[in-house]
A and B are shown apart, each in its own frame.
Chain A
Amino acid sequence: MNTSVSVSLRDVHLAFGANRVLRGVDLDVPRGATACVIGPSGSGKSTLLRTINRLIEPDRGDVLLDGRSVLGDDPDRLRQRVGMVFQQFNLFPHMSVLRNVTLALRRIRKLPEDEAVAVARHELDRVGLAAKADARPAQLSGGQQQRVAIARALALQPQVMLFDEATSALDPELVKGVLSLMAELSAGGMTMVVVTHEMGFAREVADTVAFMDRGVVLEAGAPAAVFEAAEHPRLRQFLSQVL
């Protein structure tokens, strides 16, 4: 995991028509650190995440990996460096679990079949699902699907991992397994940007917690500072509602 890079957003703006979703976002995630982005729904958290791998192009501002702007890069190559995990898992339902993980390795990395399978089996083993390699996604629980989705992203050896409310769609009893996997990754030195409603996770795992509201990062800092000594009234109000 020594290939991790730092992530920075500089004054990122984005509007969908008249709807100004991001209004000058700044965020710094040092190499190997984990940043949790919290905030009310509709505050622009998921959009912010998607500007990092350019699934959404910002109107203005800059996105930097390792201090270098990515806005001039080929987006397809950029996305191979940035893993992403979605709220609804988004596994490919017409393929086996193994095929889900090998797909990009074979088609994009052009690895031979046996090498791709070896990498995929290693990643599935790491998320504890080696035994499910031949199952279809629909045969797995939500928590298992999400762990496969994480393995699928990790197989490409990303330098950054983005998590978009990775546990929000899970049954309560399945959340823990996914969160502990994410905590393991974080401890292993992966740079992670995690949009989450799991305040316990943010408090324990994050190096930085950023509070977003109405398209800007209102307050960011160490978890202790954000959770125990919130300065901004809107953050205090948000915390009083979720804690």
Chain B
Amino acid sequence: MANDEYDFLFKVVLIGDSGVGKSNLLSRFTRNEFNLDSKSTIGVEFATRSIQIDNKTIKAQIWDTAGQERYRAITSAYYRGAVGALLVYDISKSLSFENVTRWLKELRDHADSNIVIMLVGNKTDQRHLRAVPTEDGKNFASENGLSFIETSALEATNVDLAFQNILTSIYQIVSSKSLAEEGADVGKKFDPREGNNISLSQEGTKQEKQGCC
């Protein structure tokens, strides 16, 4: 049973070509495990981990899906409610980087328009095979308004940081929003049982508060 308590629950999805290491990023972050022979994902996997930000407990519900799925049968279910996305490519496979554009389009088509997106160049352990320079990733990210990081799930480099950063970004949007709402007559409006929701897009005035990165 989920007897854990948390202040926020954020759904984050992992997307990117098949074999770029999405499942290992997930297992590294949630269980600190890496499996060189990990099986390909069929359908969906999902795991959670809670972290502390600003003395608040953030429960990250991270979804991982089969990379092959431009044939995805479950696209809408997968993106529904996601507030963050890690768009992963493999720095040793240029094709996986070229396909980032396609994934970005899928996100724009199916996910909430305010979803926070982070571009992740994985497998930095494959130094000798690098096919995508760090600069290319950075440039693409800034051109498209994404944040960017390079990771190695195998060496556990930057994996926690990547998740922490994206969760912090999401959290800051939410918390700054709630500050702005403070004092307003929102009690009824935000009764979750009535299906009302806070939208990130209502807020954006407290950006100076963020200090995570």
Q: Are A and B associated in one complex?
A: no
